[in-house]
Amino acid sequence: MKKVILGLLIVILTSLLIACNSSNGESNQTNENKEVFTDEDIVKAEEMTVFLDEKMKEFEIEANAAIENGEIEVGNNEEFTKSVNSLGQQVVIQPFLEKYPNSLIAKGSSDIAITFQALSTEPCGFGNCTFDKIEVYDVDYNFDDTELYKSEVFELSQLIFNDIEMNSKDEEQEESGAISFVKTKENELTFSHVPFLHIESLDIKKIDEEYNKIQSNVPGSEVEFEQEEFRDEAKEILELYPELQ
């Protein structure tokens, strides 16, 4: 009788162990396959992009009004650019960081330069122009072209809006671009590339492509060394960001 009971206990314990291992395996698999960016993150990224564009348009209006009113002096293009940039910090960067803290990687708002085009309404003589106007990109967004990229090499994810059209109003030039985001361990969205601002860009997909090229571009005996060296270079860029998912 004791042997029967012992046998039943062994069977029960074995079944429990198998069930636990199976459950852990499913849990690990779920964690590995879990997307970093949620639907809510994508909606928030769209909102951040649109809000930034709105602040840029507001900046253009205020800067040109300040130039016209004499609050920003023309004649010295270097000082002109400094004054316009300073206004950009007040109108764009500071309000944006108040609404979305930690969304830009620069520690101080004064370190984030804004993309704008300084223009002259008068003909330029011998290539010399006195700037008396600015403009920012007129931007069209296609948020339907959204990519969730996951790097198996560096175990990082990136949200990319691939179809961004930027138009220069005065010169009638059109450029295509992308806007991308990464997500910190604290679940905060951070711009990793935006054409309107001069930030340290991070292109995880491009890093992966360069890393994988090493396999075919260098002798087999040097692949491991070259890849390790490349990883170190990539880490230098990643260290500029908070810890990412």
pLDDT tens per residue across span 128-156:
889 999 999 999 999 999 999 999 899 99
Mean pLDDT, to the nearest integer, of 59-77? 96
Report residue 4's pLDDT band, with 50, 70 and 90 as the boundaries.
very low
- Which percentage of the chain shows pLDDT scores above 70? 82
Q: 110 pLDDT exceeds 50?
A: yes
Please say whether the beta carbons of 160 and 147 come within 8 A: yes
What is the distance between the alpha carbons of residues 143 and 160, in angstroms, rounded to a whole number?
Answer: 9
For residues 106-112, give the mean pLDDT: 61
pTM of the predicted protein model: 0.81
Domain range holding 115? 39-238
- Cα–Cα distance measured from residue 245 to residue 235, given in angstroms and rounded to the nearest whole number: 14
The pLDDT > 90 percentage for the chain reads 62
Say if CB 200 and CB 237 are below 8 A apart.
yes
Structural domain tally of the chain?
A: 1
User: What DSSP string runs through the chain?
Assistant: -HHHHHHHHHHHHHHHHHHHHHHHHHHHHHHHH--SS-HHHHHHHHHHHHHHHHHHHHHHHHHHHHHHTTSS--S-HHHHHHHHHHHHIIIIIHHHHHHSTT-SS-SSGGG-EE--EEE-SSPPBTTB----EEE--EEEEEEEEEEEEEETTTTEEEEEEEEEEEEETTTTEEEEEEEEEEEBTTS-EEEEE-TTEE-----HHHHHHHHHHHHHHS-HHHHHHHHHHHHHHHHHHHTTSPPB-
Residue 10, pLDDT above cutoff 70: no
60 located within any domain: yes
pLDDT of residue 107: 54
- The mean pLDDT value for 78-96 works out to 95
- Asked if 41 and 189 count as a contact pair (C-beta separation under 8 A), the reply is yes
**Residue 21 counted as domain residue:** no
Phi, psi (5° rounding) for residue 199? Answer: -120, 165
**Residue 104 in domain:** yes
Instruction: Classify residue 22: in a domain, yes or no.
Output: no
Question: Do the domain assignments include residue 14?
Answer: no
Is 32 among the domain residues?
A: no
Provide CB contacts within 8 A for 53, sequence distance 6+: 139, 141, 196
From residue 22, how far is each of 7, 8, 28, 71 by CA, in Å?
Answer: 23, 21, 10, 70
Express each pLDDT in 165-217 by its tens digit.
998 776 667 788 899 999 999 999 999 999 989 888 999 999 999 999 998 88
Residue 13 lies in a domain: no
Does 26 or 209 have the greater pLDDT score? 209
What is each CA distance from 114 to 128, 229, 239, in whole angstroms? 23, 33, 23
Q: What token pair was written down for 165?
A: 């059209």
**Would residue 221 count as lying in a domain?**
yes
CA geometry: angle 117, 122, 125, nearest 5 deg:
100
